Structure 1
Amino acid sequence: MSEKAKWYVVHTYSGHENKVKANIEKIVENRGMDDIILEVAVPTEDVTEIKNGKRKTKSRKIFPGYVLVKMFMTDESWYVVRNTRGVTGFVGPGSKPIPLTEDEVRKMGIEKHRVVHVEFKKGDVIQVVYGPFQNFSGAIEEIHPEKQTVKVRIEMFGRETPVELEFDQIEKL
């Protein structure tokens, strides 16, 4: 296989995207096909809503009813994906799947991996600059760069309490 693996769009029953992704990944693992079917993705975006003064970040599917699969198109890979429970078919005319172009993949940001730079480290003493714990200070216990949050122990009512805070709520002391 000298050519590159390509991204294909698979149509699924609405609301079954994550199940289809898990099913394909399980079949790939069980059949040892990880050299043919490389990656399965359900593109999502984080949407922040503010209700009653509280910020809530939800993950929303960008393409409901679709799953993206990066694979080498062979009879076996086509069969495996096409016959996965919850899949209604590939996107393309008839039974001929059409791969996404490099430009489409780039515009969709499928292969873009977000890098988060954290200026804090475990043990740093910080001050809360806004939110319900404003003006409290404490030491960082855990850092979660993917969620952009930290777990901090602050002293409240004479006892230490662990609190999860967002990066933009705190600053180093």
Structure 2
Amino acid sequence: MESWYLLFCKAKQELRAQTNLQNQGFEVFFPEHKIERIIKGRRSIKTSPLFPNYLFIKLNTQNCNFSAVKNTRGVSGFVAYGSKFQIVPEQLISQLRSFETACEVKSDLPKTGDVVYLNTESFKNVQAIYQEPDGDMRSILLVNLLNKQVTVSVDNKEISL
């Protein structure tokens, strides 16, 4: 009988463990989601793990060598309660797979109307209202100067939430 188990991986080595386990012929599932962020002033979409340091693996309980899985590079061990390895229900895996395919890109970027702060030398910690992106590297903000709302185009590196 085949069941899904939960593996704990070494820090930042989930992909290494996944590759090594797949090379050994195991079915492995590593759920990920996409996040839109500003990195070095540019908007980019980054894939990050849904559960950092954890992998799901499908094993045959009768004839599987659990020590071979546990000693794979990148794997720290099985998640267990006492001496019994934790079995993950098939329904949970199918729900995670459907979530992963249906998931839209999650954005950490400000939305129109959000309050942001400027980090420039002349406008240190000045509050502004985010309007819209101005290309990949800049954004348009509304800044209150002398009781008047002024539209300013600012580099994305100079904005903090």
TM-score class, shorter-chain normalisation, is 0.5 to 0.7
Aligned twin of 1:66: 54
Identical counterparts, % of pairs? 28
Q: CA deviation at 1:62?
A: 1.2
2:14 to 14, 17, 21: 17
Q: CA deviation at 1:105?
A: 2.4
- Structure 1: give runs of 5+ residues left out of the alignment: 29-36, 116-130, 133-173
1:82 to 49, 70, 84: 70
What CA deviation, in whole Å up to 9, does each residue of 1:83-134 have, x standing for no partner?
Answer: 2122221112234212112443244x1366738xxxxxxxxxxxxxxx68xx
1:48 aligns with 2:48: no
TM-score by length of 2: 0.53
Whichever structure has more strand as a proportion of its residues is 2
Query: Residues 98, 111 of structure 1: CA spacing in aligned structure 2 closer, same or farther, 3 A cutoff?
Result: farther
What CA deviation, in whole Å up to 9, does each residue of 1:131-161 have, x standing for no partner?
Answer: 68xxxxxxxxxxxxxxxxxxxxxxxxxxxxx
Distance in structure 1 (CA, Å) of the matches to 2:101 and 2:52: 22
Q: Relative CO higher for 1 or 2, CA cutoff 8 Å, sep ≥ 6?
A: 2
Asked whether the equivalents of residues 33 and 100 of structure 2 are also in contact (C-alpha less than 8 Å), the reply is no
TM-score by length of 1: 0.50
1:110 aligns with 2:97: yes
Q: How many pairs were matched up?
A: 105
Q: CA deviation at 1:78?
A: 1.7
Q: What are the equivalent positions in structure 2 for 1:1-173 lying under 5 Å apart?
A: 3=1, 5-28=2-25, 37=26, 39-50=27-38, 54-107=42-95, 109-110=96-97, 114=101
1:69 is aligned with what amino acid? I
Distance in structure 2 (CA, Å) of the matches to 1:82 and 1:95: 14
Distance in structure 2 (CA, Å) of the matches to 1:71 and 1:112: 23
